[in-house]
Structure 1
């Protein structure tokens, strides 16, 4: 089990960013007493199962520009991206979460940490893309074919998807290629279990 100190040593985040993660952890623990935000069995393994799992996304693509985190839930990985933006050159994350209690939790974390994020309490297919997003992320939201359908109208030209997937990701990729054309790159997950972060580029209808 990863400790707060071990997480800091492994990631090299600043003291200020570590405090934002700690605020997130404490609020998650408080809210989980009355609201189902994550599997209760994972709460004691926050630093590995949630923090490190989310942080690794920021090592694949620079945390700048406009990001949309679909089905954000308790903020994984969107809040970690927003924290990285606070350390770097800036940007904004839109946390897309249609379930009211989860959206309220995200709003409280954003307020408590000052993260450059805003909560969109809508379904992914209803999100206004505005000028488009540079990156669309999702963790444990939907199978890849459906994720690509959500992401396609949101991504600006040259935009990318980063999707955290489990051990059966190759099956999802094969199924998605029946309806979509895209380039994919796999990044092994730091949290193990055969998981991967799937980087999608050049997404288009087949």
Structure 2
């Protein structure tokens, strides 16, 4: 990223999220953005390639979850190009992060970024979301699960909640239809054993974008038949 874009990232995170990025963190985001654009020429990672939009819709949107992350073990399902998992990892070096995606080429990109940014305690997992959620090695082992994947919230809940420990949290960052999706998800509350809360709406200055964060806490264990749905759709944001 150019110096003016680095300044924009620092200003937006400070003004909108009350996050003061260090010089080292800004440098990591700058490298991340550059590699994203480079790799996107050969691998379909994202439709967002302008520096201002990468900052706003990928970096700042991802960091909006930062204050909500609890515990030491996080899974980002349908991570795609690493959002929100890698931005969160840059600011939370002590948290163990698993980046889960079904497309190997995306994971190749993430491995390159992880190595170049010298990130530790982060793993990539080549798996479909529903297979990952059924794997006994991972099931009910995470304190927090995140996702920005383009699937309806009821589907995401069915994939995310089996991964959580009792008392764990699922954080979903959704777009303009968020309120509608939350209403659709009410039936899932009893089945999946959840308490929910709409946290806040996000309205940004640049190229107006709205989003909504929802918070879901797991209250009890789930039967092994959950999840029962098919895999997350392939997507790039």
TM-score, structure 2 as length reference: 0.77
SS across alignment from 2:162:
coil
1:5-154 alignment runs, 5 A limit: 5-9=7-11, 10=14, 11-40=19-48, 42=50, 45-62=53-70, 64-86=71-93, 90-115=94-119, 116-127=121-132, 128=135, 129=138, 132-154=141-163
Partner of 2:168: 159
| CA displacement at 1:29 relative to structure 2 | 0.9
Q: Please list the CA deviations of residues 10-60 of structure 1 after superposition, one character each: whole Å capped at 9, or x if unmatched.
A: 231111111111111111011011111000455552111211111111123
- C-alpha distance after superposition, 1:119-154 (max 9, x if no partner): 001111122315611110000331111111101210
- What does residue 216 of structure 2 align with? 200
Q: SS in structure 1 opposite 2:65?
A: helix
RMSD over equivalenced CA pairs, Å = 2.0
The 5 A counterparts of 1:169-180 are 169-180=178-189
Larger radius of gyration: 2
Do the aligned partners of 1:52 and 1:190 also contact (CA within 8 Å) in 2? no
Distance in 1 (CA, whole Å) between partners of 2:22 and 2:97 is: 20
5+ residue gaps in structure 2?
A: 223-237
- 2:226 corresponds to which residue? none
Aligned length: 200
Whole-angstrom CA distance in 2 between matches of 1:179 and 1:46: 33
User: Structure 1: which 5+ runs fail to align?
Assistant: none
**TM-score normalised by the chain length of structure 1:** 0.88
